[in-house]
Amino acid sequence: MNSPNQSLGPLKQIKAVLHSEVGPGILLVIMAVLAMTIMNSPLASYYEDIFRTKVVFGVGPIVIDKPFLLWVNDGLMAIFFFLIGLEIKRELMVGHLSDIRQALLPLGAAVGGMAAPAIVYLIVTQGVEGAAHGWAIPAATDIAFAIGVLALLGPRVPVPLKVFLLTLAVADDLGAIVIIALFYTEHLSIGSLAIAFAALGVLILMNYSNVGNKSAYLFVGFIMWVAVLKSGVHATLAGVALGFCIPYTLPKQESSPVVRLEHELHGFSSYIVLPLFAFANAGVAIGEQGLAILGHQVPMGIAAGLFLGKPIGVMLFCFLILKLGIAQMPRHVNWGQLFGVSLLCGIGFTMSLFIGSLAFGGMGNPLAGLDRLGILTGSILSAIVGFIVLKRALPERSFCVLGAKPLH
């Protein structure tokens, strides 16, 4: 007869995997596969009805009336972008972006890794009406997924290679935020925008005055989110702005408010927000056409942008930066390892799905859903091939540098 500890062994193993760097990525895949399975089953109508259900929230004259899908994309994802804002601020203050010399190579690689996929996509989709609006879909990188795949290789991965990927991914997130603000904003309401800027001004003043009350920041941030939502600018940008306004240090406090909030939100974002977002947005009905729709120019363009454009852009810009002497190759990193990481940058998934919902998410858009198939195809290919390349390029034994600290 097995003891209680033995019977709980597999459960403990599952818990350990879910709490590792790999866990969030595995959960995202499960939710995406589940959504696609349901959408191609008799349960499809129930799936669609759930996310089309109107959810109304109102206080006095302010009423927000949106389908549940948009509450996920505009509301819950604002929490994810708030976390991104906190992470970018930390990186700028004390992290990999605080030393411009160290950051030049991954920053340049991020620029190339956003430009090349967009060019590849536009070339492939040339002539398709409305397709050009989705040019930014393959430009994104899913940091959680990419780091999760890298984590599968364990201690064989040199710390400088992890730093390179993290810095590139953070810069990529920042670029995606700028793209959303500049290219996916329509029908501006000046009044609502003025309220949003007023709330932002209050947050900046609170930061400058070393206000340490977390609830006060979140309350003003919520007002800003509502105003941004009503203004026509995508509401998730309010989350980023709020993240930047949280003070990094406060007098008489040893721990950083930014770091504390990151730790508090990480689990909720990784295990609730992103899986729900993936489940809500990855459902695509393949129907009678089957996988033949992969031959459509839009999914082909997205998949090609992620799987081919990303590594081409990252490697080309790395080569130019190193050749011109602007930066140096990270220690203990070779071109094969750099190529493997450039392939992992083609895992767009969460951020690509998000931009796709902005580009083709309008009611009745004939291209809606096609982007999801291209994103999943390109991301899966990038993950598999990137893992294989890195497995061959990395040393067989565990990598250890004297004095190196573990990277979290």
Rounded alpha-carbon distances, angstroms, from residue 388 to 117, 215, 284: 22, 46, 28
Residue 249, pLDDT > 50, answer: yes
Q: Is residue 221 part of a domain?
A: no
- Chain-centroid distance of CA 214 in Å reads 25
10 Å CB burial of residue 379 (0-12, 13-18, 19+) is buried
Helices of type H across 209-348: 214-231, 236-245, 257-268, 274-281, 297-304, 310-323, 335-344
Q: Is residue 403 part of a domain?
A: no
10 Å CB burial of residue 218 (0-12, 13-18, 19+) is middle
Structural domain boundaries enclosing 313? 23-185+234-393
CATH number (domain holding residue 72): 1.20.1530.10
Residue 400, pLDDT > 50, answer: no
Residue 404, pLDDT > 80, answer: no
pLDDT in tens, 71-90: 998 889 899 889 988 988 88
Assign residue 404 a region: left if phi > 0, alpha if psi is -120 to 50, beta otherwise? beta
pLDDT at 40: 87
Domain count, the chain: 1
Closest CA to 243 of 221, 226, 264, 223: 221
Q: Report CA torsion sign: 380, 147, 307, 123.
A: positive
Instruction: Kindly report the number of other CB atoms within 10 A of residue 115's CB atom.
Output: 17
Residue 401, pLDDT > 50, answer: no
C-beta of residue 96 within 8 angstroms of C-beta of residue 102: yes
C-beta of residue 109 within 8 angstroms of C-beta of residue 330: no
Range list of β-strands (E), 42-91: 54-59, 62-67
Q: Is residue 328 part of a domain?
A: yes
C-beta of residue 278 within 8 angstroms of C-beta of residue 67: no
Categorize the per-residue pLDDT at 15 as very low, low, confident or very high, splitting at 50, 70 and 90: low
C-beta of residue 283 within 8 angstroms of C-beta of residue 356: no
Q: Is residue 210 part of a domain?
A: no
Categorize the per-residue pLDDT at 33 as very low, low, confident or very high, splitting at 50, 70 and 90: confident
Q: Report CA torsion sign: 33, 37, 40, 45.
A: negative
Q: Is residue 46 part of a domain?
A: yes
Q: Is residue 373 part of a domain?
A: yes
Q: Around 180, how many Cα atoms within 13 Å sit in the side-chain half-sphere?
A: 27
pLDDT in tens, 156-177: 888 888 889 988 988 888 888 8
> For the residues 53-73, what does the mean pLDDT come to?
84
C-beta of residue 204 within 8 angstroms of C-beta of residue 159: no
pLDDT at 169: 84
Q: Is residue 398 part of a domain?
A: no
Q: What is the mean pLDDT of the chain?
A: 84
Residue 320, pLDDT > 80, answer: yes
Q: Which of 66-80, 314-328, 352-366 has the lowest mean pLDDT?
A: 352-366
Q: Report CA torsion sign: 371, 376, 378, 379.
A: positive
Categorize the per-residue pLDDT at 338 as very low, low, confident or very high, splitting at 50, 70 and 90: very high
C-beta of residue 103 within 8 angstroms of C-beta of residue 169: no
Query: What pTM does this model have?
Result: 0.75
Q: Is residue 14 part of a domain?
A: no
Residue 6, pLDDT > 70, answer: no
Residue 151, pLDDT > 90, answer: no
Residue 3, pLDDT > 60, answer: no
pLDDT in tens, 181-237: 888 876 778 888 899 999 999 999 999 999 988 999 999 999 999 998 888 777 888
Residue 153, pLDDT > 90, answer: no
